[in-house]
Amino acid sequence: MAVACSAVLTSCGGAGDGRGGAAHSPQGGGRAADRPTTDFKRIPDVGDRLRSRIPKNARQVVAVYGEGENSAASTVVLYTKRGETWKKERSWPAHNGKKGWTRDHRENDKRSPVGVFTLTDAGGVLADPGSGLPYTRTASLQAPRYWPRTHWHDFDYVIAIDYNRVPGTPPNDPTRPQGQAKGGSIWLHMDHGSGTSGCVSLSKAGMRRLLRALDPKQHPVVVMGDRAALKA
């Protein structure tokens, strides 16, 4: 448990995360930013560099649009592919690393990694809300009580982003195939109203929606980065 808790502390939380982040959606708020669905031939505002990294069998994409390279504010959009068309299902206000984004993520740099990553595993402190992904409920994900109270529920729901981790393991598995220096424990998790240590956070309602929507048979991935990096 000590190893797992350490991974959480150094990557997805910490007492400093509530300071200096961009003001955005508070935890527990979370009406979707828009309700209408829209169809696209390709994921909007994602250039050829990252689009080419989306697996051909991926039919669900969680796109994280960061407002700027050094901004902690972002928007999460869920797209599903129907035939040859991508449908925009929902979007939510979100946060990313408190210092923004990087293409070379390092441990404790407080930036979220730019890239395309698979989504294979989920978990949380709370009971499974009906997740399509394998879900591990464990008290070891509980945020320490010496963190600010606003952060205590960050890991009630978690979706592991497969950056420097072993797919098919619980989100807090400490194994880092690329080594400790490359960071890890990069997750989608619940929002506390400001930037994170590298994760992407959104409302409880948004997390529940994603957990129920993502289907391993659709090979879901996350495409994430600041808008300029995404368009490159």
Q: What is the pLDDT of residue 109?
A: 97
pLDDT in tens, 180-209: 999 999 999 999 999 999 999 999 999 999
Q: How many Cβ atoms from other residues are within 10 Å of residue 40's Cβ?
A: 12
For the segment 110-123, the average pLDDT, to the nearest whole number, is 98
The set of residues, in sequence order, having a beta carbon less than 8 Å from that of 36 and lying 6+ positions away, is: none
Stretch among 32-41, 114-123, 222-231 having the lowest mean pLDDT: 32-41
What's the pLDDT at 12? 66
Q: Tell me which residue of 5, 211, 199 sits closest to 120, measured CA to CA.
A: 211
In this prediction, residue 38 carries a pLDDT of 72
Scan for tokens 């300029």, then name that residue: 228
What are the respective helix, strand and coil percentages of the chain, to the nearest 5?
20, 30, 55
Tell me how far apart the alpha carbons of residues 66 and 93 are, in angstroms, rounded to a whole number.
10
pTM score of the predicted model: 0.87
What pLDDT is recorded for position 37?
A: 59
Mean pLDDT, residues 154-172 taken together: 98
For the segment 37-89, what is each residue's pLDDT rounded down to a tens digit? 577 899 999 999 999 999 999 999 999 999 999 999 999 999 999 999 999 99
At residue 18, does pLDDT exceed 50?
Answer: no
Active site residues: 189, 199
Mention every residue, 6+ apart, whose C-beta is less than 8 A from residue 52.
none
Average pLDDT, the chain: 88
Q: Is 83 left (phi over 0), alpha (psi -120 to 50) or beta?
A: left
Tokens of 76: 């999460």
